[in-house]
């Protein structure tokens, strides 16, 4: 996996549409979202990472961390991924 860069935009659009996350008619919306992501600076409050196999983009993950109040942390989930409810 690697950090996405602006040259990945067309591949990201293709992957999310093929995966059914967005309909084909939303391609321009996804392209605009990614344009905003790259313009605002990567890693500020969100991240987009890619998975390549033999120079072909096969996966994309776009995440925005969520901060939890300490009282809301689930002790049974600490150190196993998500401690937020």
pLDDT value at position 60? 82
Residues 12 and 21 sit within 8 Å (Cβ to Cβ): no
Cα 49 to chain center, whole Å? Answer: 6
pLDDT value at position 50? 83
- pLDDT one digit per residue (tens) for the chain, 85 residues: 888 888 889 999 998 899 898 899 999 999 998 888 888 766 567 788 888 888 787 888 877 766 655 555 555 554 544 545 4
Residue with tokens 């989930």: 77
């Amino acid at each position: 996996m690697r950090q996405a860069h602006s040259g990945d935009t067309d591949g990201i659009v293709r992957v999310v549409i093929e995966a059914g996350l967005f309909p084909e008619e939303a391609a321009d919306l996804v392209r605009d979202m990614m344009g905003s992501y790259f313009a605002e600076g990567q890693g500020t409050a969100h991240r987009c990472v890619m998975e390549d196999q033999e120079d072909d983009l096969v996966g994309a993950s776009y995440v925005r961390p969520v901060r939890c109040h300490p009282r809301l942390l689930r002790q049974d989930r600490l150190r196993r991924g998500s401690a937020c409810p």
